[in-house]
Amino acid sequence: MKYTVLLFLFLSQTAFSQQYKSRPITGLLGAFGAEVELVKQTLKNPKTVVVDGVTFTTGRLGKQKVVVAETGIGKVNAAMTTALLLDHFRPERVLFTGIAGGTNPELQPGDIVIAGRTAHHDYGSITDKNTPTRQTRNVITKQFNPVYFPADTSLMRLAEKVVKDIPLEGIPLASGGVSDRPVKVVTGTVVTGDVFVASPIKVSSLRADFGADATEMEGAAIAQVCYQINVPHLIIRSLSDRADAEAHIAFDKFYPTAARNSAKLVIAIVQAL
């Protein structure tokens, strides 16, 4: 009996230290299935864990231990999933992979924006004088947050380096082939709001007010949670559309390619850590 208790204590200690040793872990998020599909397919030894109803998949990418989840669409879902991820898995860093609407006229579907910074484009007060108050407040310190949440510099530099060596896909052409135009990659500004933008007027204002290169629905929410809890983050987006009047049509045609291009870059970043 005494030996059984000792053996149990020994085994549970070992299990504890294994679990402890198995950290650090990198959190990888995407908003919906297509955005995380390639990441999940590339995982070695995938295992699912459900936390408060949200499914997380742990596994390895190269030597790195990772945990992958779909945040759901929009800022509230993104913030909730990020908070659960940080609380439950304590990742060393968080990377987001996904698609966006392009607001930089130089960029086309399939191109990549490495978000050097993100901002909420729909936060503030509405007045008839159009005077924006854009800064959120940090729930922990009660201080104003910056308008732009900066990405972690080393993750950003790593992304800029590894993107040169990965084969990115051209977008499908109406003729049935694939575009041979080289995929453009910029480090820039990604803006976030709880809206799908399909308006050239809105694109002009996002460009004029924020210097936006792309617009989407989760990035700044994830960045804000990471900023407030002091966890390095990087948001990667590939464009599915140009946020213009044809955005819905372009989205349907190009999102699979864009989702894969973004995921390829995020996988390469993790493998180079």
Closer to ligand ADE by CB, 37 or 196: give it: 196
Q: Please, are residues 204 and 191 in contact by the beta-carbon 8 Å criterion?
A: no
Residues in the chain, how many? Answer: 273
Q: Which of 35, 111, 216, 218 is catalytic?
A: 35
Which of residues 26 and 104 has its CB atom nearest to ligand ADE in the complex?
104
Q: Verify whether residue 218 is a known catalytic residue.
A: no
For the CB of residue 200, give the shortest distance to ligand ADE in the complex, in Å. Answer: 11
Q: How far apart are CB 25 and ligand ADE at their closest, in Å?
A: 27
Q: Is 87 a known active-site residue?
A: no
Supply the minimum distance, in Å, between the C-beta of residue 80 and ligand ADE. 18
Neighbours of 263 (CB within 10 A): 25
Q: Residues interacting with ligand ADE, by CB under 6 A?
A: 99-101, 196-198, 215-217, 240-241, 243, 247, 251
CB 73, min distance to ligand ADE, A:
9
Q: 84 burial class (0-12, 13-18, 19+ CB within 10 angstroms)?
A: middle
From the list 128, 165, 241, 246, the catalytic residue is: 241
* 156/133 Cα distance (integer angstroms): 28
Q: Which is nearer to ligand ADE, 80 or 196 (CB)?
A: 196
Residue 155 or 214 with smaller CB distance to ligand ADE: 214
Measured from each CB, the residue nearest to ligand ADE is 101
Between CA 225 and CA 42 the distance in angstroms is 27
Residue number, 99 or 222, with CB nearest to ligand ADE: 99
Write out the catalytic residue numbers. Answer: 35, 241
